[in-house]
């Protein structure tokens, strides 16, 4: 079943009990895509003395790096599992469709929806067209004379005195 994430974290923190080497800052530059360290351990410089580490510390750093990589892989696996579980919470596609439609009708863009619903941007773009849900309201025009007389009747076109076309929509 593998080692627990908390156990790996505790092992990593306790791997250097003196606190001379911080397992999250002093092990060198880490590439999270390739899951490996960019520089060899013997090229690291001690932050306290400004000199390279001696052989004993390099060996300790190598051990700590192995623990750090195992911890990062477990963390990545845990994140994928949590994201997968979060994505299957929705009861059905109809329910999910209703949620996304509501966000689109309220004017949210796909990046904002992605942050609120666990669906990728690409999947949102593939499944929904924003232009189908974002609609422009029908304009309403009021005459100042009508308003001053207490009449609140709206019109769907501008008055001819303003040189407006017969109908806008």
Write down the pTM of the prediction.
0.48
pLDDT confidence of residue 66: 92
User: Is a pLDDT exceeding 80 seen at residue 36?
Assistant: yes
In contact, 110 and 130? CB cutoff 8 Å:
yes
Asked whether 52 and 43 are in contact (CB, 8 A), the reply is yes
Distance separating alpha carbons of residues 81 and 14, to the nearest angstrom: 27
- 12 within 8 A of 64, measured Cβ to Cβ: yes
pLDDT-based confidence at 37, cuts 50/70/90?
A: very high
What are residue 52's DSSP bridge partners? Answer: 45
CB-CB contact of 103 with 114 (8 Å): no
Do residues 60 and 24 lie in contact, with contact meaning Cβ atoms separated by under 8 Å?
Answer: no
> In 3D, which of 57, 61, 79 has the Cα closest to residue 69?
61
Q: Which pLDDT tens digit goes with each residue over 118-150? A: 778 888 888 888 888 877 777 777 777 777 877
- Predicted confidence band of residue 64 (pLDDT cuts 50, 70, 90): very high
Residue-range domain boundaries for the chain = 5-87, 93-132, 140-169
């Amino acid at each position: 079943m593998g080692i627990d994430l908390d156990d790996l974290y505790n092992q990593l923190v306790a791997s250097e009990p003196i606190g001379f080497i911080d397992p999250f800052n002093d092990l060198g530059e880490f590439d999270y895509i390739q899951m490996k360290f960019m520089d060899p351990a013997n090229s690291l410089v001690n932050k306290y003395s400004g000199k390279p580490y001696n052989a004993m510390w390099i060996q300790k750093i190598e051990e700590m790096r192995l623990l750090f990589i195992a911890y990062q892989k477990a963390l990545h696996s845990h994140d994928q599992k949590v994201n997968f579980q979060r994505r299957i919470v929705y009861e059905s596609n109809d329910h999910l469709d209703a949620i996304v439609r509501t966000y689109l009708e309220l004017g949210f863009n796909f990046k904002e929806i992605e942050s609120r619903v666990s669906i990728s941007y690409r999947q949102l773009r593939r499944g929904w067209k924003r232009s189908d849900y974002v609609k422009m309201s029908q304009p309403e025009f009021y005459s100042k004379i009508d308003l001053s007389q207490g009449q609140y009747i709206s019109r769907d076109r501008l008055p001819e005195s303003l040189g407006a076309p017969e109908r806008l929509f």
